[in-house]
Amino acid sequence: MLDYNELAELLFPNIKKPEYYEELYPERNIKSGAKVTRLAPSPTGFIHIGNLYGAFVDERLARQSDGVFFLRIEDTDEKRYVDGAVDAIISSLAFFGIDFDEGPKDGAYGPYYQSERTDIYQSFAKRMIALGQAYPCFLTEDEIAGIRKEQEKGKETPGIYGKWAVNRDISFEQAKTNISSGIPYVIRLKSKGGSGQIHVEDGIRGLLSMPENDQDIVILKTNGVPTYHFAHVVDDHLMRTTHVVRGEEWLSSLPVHVELFNMLGFTLPVFCHTAQLLKLDAEGNRRKLSKREDPELSLEYYMRKGYHPKALREYLLTILNSNFEEWRDKNPDGDIFGFPFSVEKMSSSGALFDLNKLNDICKDVLLKIPADSLRKFIINWSKTFKPEVTSLLENDEVYIEKILDIGRSGNNPRKDLIYAEQIFECVNYFFDEYFTVTDEIPQNVTGSDANAILSAYLETYDHGDDQAKWFEKIRALSAALGYAARPKDFKNDPDKYKGHVGDVSTVIRIALMGRSQSPDIWEIQQILGERRTRQRIEMSLK
């Protein structure tokens, strides 16, 4: 009979026992019901909206329960590791207001890089071998390929299990000989599974039932580094994770993880498998967001555009919890962190990501952000993504805040500000360096009439006029030049007039802003000041 303890000592002769780590990482001293969650990305260099989506769930669960939210870096796959990726993860999430209580450098339950925890994994693997729950497998890649071909030919489930697991009961002597000969090996789980079912209560999806695992999956690779399956189980146990939030693509791995938790004698955390983020294609069909086809999948897209963190968080809650919008209607000015987030209210059938809806929500959210806060946000954005305009934005605080506040008060406030890049494009005509005429004068106005309008406007312009007096002058000027003082007069008798007052004001608007559409001209002039206003009108005279 195989002496499992002897085999375990052969494979891992000098290593601490699991009890050492159990004592090193005790149960957390937190109140009853507090949740411990983690974000555990791989440092591949691509941070996507799904990471933020999941992180927000983790963060809400922990914060609302006075629990702990930590960051763990799953960097055991050296081939996928990208330099600088960890800093990118942290800075990207921080940009959107996601911070951590622990990790990846600080915290009592570290190290938080899996590559620095190899001894821990090997300790638990050694115990599994000693208990006959795992074994060294010396199958070569060619042998495994041959097994796959044989399984395909017989239309059998692919993998190493049952009769295909030829090293399951390898003798100690043979294992020792193989190791002495330098034959590479992995450590495999000795699965107890067969034709039974597992039953798991998912935090989002309710009771899940699926076939139990029967595969002798690899838990340690030939270099002694763990696979994701094994590392995740050991880490979530020792870090005392209570809730594991992850995408539905991991559902197929649940039987493996359940078996590992059970064989190791660990308490199963609450698994919360989130729905995939989907979008509507041109034909109106739902499809998964694609890295190749959808730039909005990347978090960098939102950072580069300058989406405000408050707006993106607000939008994510609308797709995370079905009752958020109802709560928002009842609490129009409430802080989103006052919303009672719940995994039970999350969709399990696919979350539709709608960029147009996000932009609409941005308009509402930005309207509530004071101009001074909005100015600071845009300046911080510009320092990274449009540094050439930073000095303009920092030069005159009062001037910038007046620009950002145009039309944002009253019963029908302006709602056209979406994100930093778009905001600058909306208001860049206030800066002489960016002022350019992009629109044509109305068809009802000839070139000579445009000159006459602008000349007459300069003659009557008084920067001290209030809005009512200013507009009366525009009406008088229109009538004097053959344009209807009221649009309805032109509509009722178009042959009597060259055009109407709207055409006249548009000529002035284009001269001042370079555009045919803009907020109120009088208010814009008050911000531009008399000198710049007159200067731009004069520049437009031909």
Q: DSSP readout, 337-376?
A: GGS---GGGS-SS-EEP-HHHHHHHHHHHHHTS-HHHHHH
First to last CA, the chain: 103
By the 8 A CB rule, do 197 and 208 touch?
A: no
Is 163 marked active-site?
no
Tokens of 489: 């007069």
C-alpha pair distances (Å), 463 with each of 400, 475, 479 = 20, 17, 22
Cβ–Cβ contacts within 10 Å for residue 5, how many?
14
Q: What is the 3-state secondary structure (H, E, C) of 517-541?
A: CCCCHHHHHHHHCHHHHHHHHHHHC
Given a contact cutoff of 8 angstroms between Cβ atoms, the answer to whether 125 and 185 are in contact is no
Asked if 353 and 320 count as a contact pair (C-beta separation under 8 A), the reply is no
User: Apex CA 349: angle with CA 347 and CA 353, to 5°?
Assistant: 75
Buried b (16+ CB within 10 A) or exposed e, 283-295: eeeeeebeeeebe
CATH number of 4-16+118-274: 3.40.50.620
- Is 236:230 a contact under the CB 8 Å cutoff? no
pLDDT of residue 2: 65
| Cβ 57 vs Cβ 22: under 8 Å | no
Residue 308 identity: H
CA torsion sign for 317, 323, 326, 330 is negative
Q: Which DSSP helix (H) or strand (E) runs through 198?
A: strand 197-202
Maximum pairwise Cα distance, the chain: 111
Determine which one of 291, 357, 383, 469 is catalytic: 291
What string of DSSP letters covers 242-270?
A: -EEEEEGGGGGGHHHHHHHHHHHTPPPPE
d(CA 302, CA 295): 9
Task: Count, in order, helices (H) and strands (E) of the chain.
Answer: 23, 12
| Helices 172-180 and 4-11, axial angle in degrees (round to 10) | 10
pLDDT along the chain (542 residues), means of 10: 83 94 97 96 86 94 97 88 87 90 95 96 97 96 95 93 93 93 96 90 96 96 94 97 95 96 97 91 84 89 95 94 94 92 89 91 95 96 96 93 90 90 95 94 92 95 95 95 94 93 96 92 95 94 80
- 56 touches 324 (CB < 8 A): no
Residues 77, 83, 86, 89: is their CA dihedral positive or negative? negative
Query: Which amino acid belongs to residue 324?
Result: F
Q: Output the six-digit token pair for 288.
A: 């998964």
Tokens coding 81: 């590791």
Distance from C-alpha of 257 to C-alpha of 213, rounded to nearest angstrom: 9
CA 312 vs CA 46, 318, 366: distances in Å: 19, 10, 11
Every domain of the chain and the residues it spans: 4-16+118-274, 371-419, 447-540
Judged by DSSP in three states, 220 sits in strand
CA–CA distance, 113 with 74 (Å, rounded to integer): 6
pLDDT of residue 269: 98
**Kind and range of the H or E run holding 39:** strand 36-39
Other C-beta atoms closer than 10 Å to the C-beta of 58 total 27
CATH number of this structure's domain 447-540: 1.10.10.350
Return the DSSP state at 212. Answer: P
Spatial contact of 125 and 219, defined as CB atoms under 8 Å apart = yes
Q: Could you give the C-alpha distances from 243 to 231, 233, 332, 410, in angstroms and in order?
A: 16, 12, 31, 46
3-class SS of residue 481: coil
Spatial contact of 271 and 207, defined as CB atoms under 8 Å apart: no
Distance CA 341, CA 328 (A): 12
